[in-house]
Structure 1
């Protein structure tokens, strides 16, 4: 091997040693570095090793030396520090849209960004987690395809499914193809959603779909519809309105809330809503944009009598019917 190529290989091998075997708590002395390189059949002299370390430093690698007993050289700064990697591992492990197998693959890649000693800490962190995971292994490719369609201004087609009581996939509408103009990918309630529109021209209607329930996604050679509809579209506001991304009629709803619920209301609907204090000093009214769906009613009922729906009349009627149904199921309370 020519000397120049051999020197490049030696520098790469030395860099890998620093990346995988060292960190601020674990160092390698010069004799240890020489032995490790010789295990890879890379003969090294002490003088040339010092020169190689300096070359890596000049290339931007933060290689430090600790003198004294137990001292040696180590890589002090990395692209990601250990606390950052722990945050990323937590995010991967907590994500429901990632299958267990894909989570493990991603975490192994993240471990490769740390020293082997630090990687063990990431492994211990993973072991404590046992969250529910999606069963759709293809979701990563679906997300990528949808991003591609959005970037290329193309429509997509796909089939959409639910689960039955035997945990089998059941295609909606007998497997009919959905034809959608994709505009936004949103992350809500630990799931990916595609927000787009169906129809053309003035008849475009905003719809959303869970990405992990899609199958046979295809990018079609047709330009997206609904550009005007999405010019001022606010995905965050849309997600706030559509509790749990459930569909239903949209309405501007007036709520009367106990004063202590100001925090939960602002958390749910954002800081742009106006809280109107009532004369009794114990309540406030607020107008919110909401989709009249089961998650919205569940949120309202979760506060018991501390939230009252005042307007519109159809919202009051829908909630009254829900309350009557619940009463019929469980009976009157004496």
Structure 2
């Protein structure tokens, strides 16, 4: 091996050691760096290490930042990494709590994320985030379905898939006797730990849960449709109108709420709707557009009388039917 090739190999090994073995709390002395290089079969003099660190710090673009901590127990450490530890923790939490990622794939992804920081900080990523009642998917095919949908969206073509439901014996069975759904995909939404596809079909935009899709395929010869409908689409408004991602007719509904629930309403509908105080000083009204469904009525009932549907009359009447049915069931 030529001296030039050996120097390149030494620099690469030094970068790897600094990236994985050091951080601000765990610097390495130059003698220790020499030892670790020797363990990799690379001989180095102490003077050359100082020169190598200067070379890495002087690289154009400031790709590496290697700092020195002086004093007892001091040494050199890699300060500039692709991700801050706090950023990696956020990514790990997102992976861990996602229902659509299997437990095995979650573990593998978290291990890969750990390669972007030191081994000392990686240990902090191996933590469990407590999520009550969270059930992880058992099917890794969803990752490939998501990839297929992304490719189709980028290419501007339609997709087809079989859409499934769970049976009592815990099997996923296609709807409509196994016929393919053919839709024009526009965007993917992550809501309540699940992926949903927003697609144009039958003259309107609809959503489909990605983990219920089977045999998703791109259709390269079928250009995507629904550009005009999607041009005026606001995904945030759409998800605010839905409850549990269940479809229903969109209607403007006026809700009368106890003042203590102002925060709950803002969390659900954002700051745009006006909260109109009532003369009694204890309640307020707000008018929002929602997709009226049984899940919406269940959401209202969940406030145990703190929220009342004031209008329109037909939605209020539907709420009463739901409550009458529940009263009969629990009589």
Which TM class, normalised by the smaller chain length?
over 0.9
Question: 1:135 deviation in Å?
Answer: 2.0
Aligned pairs (5 A) from 1:58-207: 58-59=58-59, 60=62, 61-123=64-126, 125-126=127-128, 131-199=134-202, 204-207=203-206
Distance 1:276 1:72 in 2: 62
Unaligned stretches of 5+ in structure 2?
none
Structure 2 match to 1:297: 297
Structure 2 match to 1:44: 44
Whether contact under 8 Å (2:114, 2:125) holds in the other structure is yes
Change in Cα spacing, 1:133 to 1:74, as seen in structure 2 (3 Å) is same
Question: 1:246 deviation in Å?
Answer: 0.3
Unaligned stretches of 5+ in structure 1?
none
Structure 1 match to 2:55: 55
Question: 1:127 deviation in Å?
Answer: 7.8
Distance 1:241 1:135 in 2: 30
Distance 1:83 1:33 in 2: 27
Distance 1:259 1:30 in 2: 64
TM-score with structure 1 length normalisation?
0.92
Question: 1:126 deviation in Å?
Answer: 3.4
Whether contact under 8 Å (1:249, 1:292) holds in the other structure is yes
Distance 1:324 1:72 in 2: 73
Question: 1:89 deviation in Å?
Answer: 1.5
Distance 1:120 1:249 in 2: 49
Distance 2:32 2:258 in 1: 69
Distance 1:16 1:129 in 2: 35
Structure 2 match to 1:215: 214
Structure 2 match to 1:306: 306
TM-score with structure 2 length normalisation?
0.93
Whether contact under 8 Å (2:96, 2:129) holds in the other structure is no
Aligned pairs (5 A) from 1:29-40: 29-40=29-40
> Could you report, residue by residue, the CA deviation over 1:163-183 in whole angstroms, capped at 9, with x for unpaired residues?
122211111112110111111
> Could you report, residue by residue, the CA deviation over 1:229-285 in whole angstroms, capped at 9, with x for unpaired residues?
111111111101111110122211122222332222222112111223333333222
Q: Tell me the SS of whatever aligns to 2:116.
A: coil
Distance 1:305 1:234 in 2: 31
Of 257-266 and 232-241, more deviation after overlay is shown by 257-266
